[in-house]
Structure 1
Amino acid sequence: MLFYILMFFIGGAFLLQLFFGYFQIKHFSNVFVEMRRKGKVAIGRKKGHFKSGTIVFFTVDPDGNIVDARKMQGVTIFARFHEMNEFIHENIQHLPEMKMKRCNKLLQKAIANSVHNYTVVANGGVIKDAPKTPMAGMSLMIKSLFQNARKSNNQG
């Protein structure tokens, strides 16, 4: 009997998470579409495995000046985007260090990721996706070690 109550609770929690997750994704999409209408959007993210994750959107004009800036930072599905007015009218590739220092570490890393992504795409490059899971990251690391070993054996 206790087993069924536990399974019912877990199932209910899962459905509740799906329900609220839907609204978070809808909010994410609405903010992105709104910002995209104003210009190109540079996106930065920093996963916070046991801390709050952070996503940054910068709408950028053709000269690289930030027209709109928003962040979403939080641990739960209740996180929402908030404006970052202090970065509006700044050039995305020359953000003032003083404004960056006022941000927490995860936000600084997400902003740096958005600047990197903007620079790569502006120069005609393509952003490489990071591994989705720790195991995928480990398998990519092992694969690259074997490839490097083969290259050095073939050269020697």
Structure 2
Amino acid sequence: MIIYFIIALGAAWLLQSIFGFLQIRHFNRTFAAYRRMGRVAVGRKTGLFRAGTVVLFVIDKRNKILKASKMQGVTVFSRIKPLKGFEGKYLLKIGQAELVRHDRLTRLAIEDALKTFDIITKGGDVPQKKTRLQKLMSFQIKKRGEL
């Protein structure tokens, strides 16, 4: 009986891996097509038990948004979809009036795209966010140091 459970678990893992690969391939192809159109500002907000969101803004040399898209979801079936209301606007002039029409995770991803774009245009490096494992490990090290 346990062997069937192990086989089912392995099959589920294999399917998840295949669908994850297909999702990443779709994202990479879309990103490459967007790069051919102009510069791309990317923002993301990840969630542990909720939908993660990635936003993409294709912009011209004057920072005018040519195309806006987002990918949001908790599964490997999430695909890039149009993000309405941003085309023709200037990236750096996006304000609360435009953000209020979107859900919280999309707003946070858009704010991340604006922040990242600002850092890059000023010649800086975007700091890497720590993974949950890195945060846990640094917490454990700090905890040991206090003892």
What TM-score, normalized by structure 1, do the two folds share?
0.86
**Runs of at least 5 residues in structure 2 that lack an aligned partner in the other structure:** none
Distance 1:143 1:5, change over 3 A: closer
Instruction: Letter of the 1:116 partner, please give it.
Output: K
| Structure-2 separation of matches of 1:140 and 1:127 | 21
Aligned residue number for residue 24 of structure 1:
23
> Aligned-pair distance for 1:85?
3.1
Instruction: Letter of the 1:111 partner, please give it.
Output: I
Distance 1:72 1:144, change over 3 A: same
For 1:75-115, what per-residue CA distance to the aligned partner results, in whole angstroms no more than 9, with x for missing partners?
10000000113111111111132221010000000000000
| Structure-1 separation of matches of 2:129 and 2:142 | 14
Aligned residue number for residue 84 of structure 2:
85
**Runs of at least 5 residues in structure 1 that lack an aligned partner in the other structure:** 146-156
Aligned residue number for residue 61 of structure 2:
62
Q: What is the 5 A alignment of 1:1-156?
A: 2-132=1-131, 134-140=132-138
Instruction: Letter of the 1:135 partner, please give it.
Output: L
Matched pairs, number: 145
* Displaced runs of 4 or more, over 3 A: 138-145
For 1:116-144, what per-residue CA distance to the aligned partner results, in whole angstroms no more than 9, with x for missing partners?
00000001011111112x23024446779
| Structure-1 separation of matches of 2:111 and 2:138 | 24
Distance 1:31 1:143, change over 3 A: same
- When the two chains are superposed, the root-mean-square deviation of aligned CA atoms in Å is 2.0
| Structure-1 separation of matches of 2:39 and 2:142 | 34
Name which of structure 1's ranges 117-126 and 81-90 shifts more when overlaid on structure 2: 81-90
What TM-score, normalized by structure 2, do the two folds share?
0.91
> Aligned-pair distance for 1:61?
1.1
Structure index of larger Rg = 1
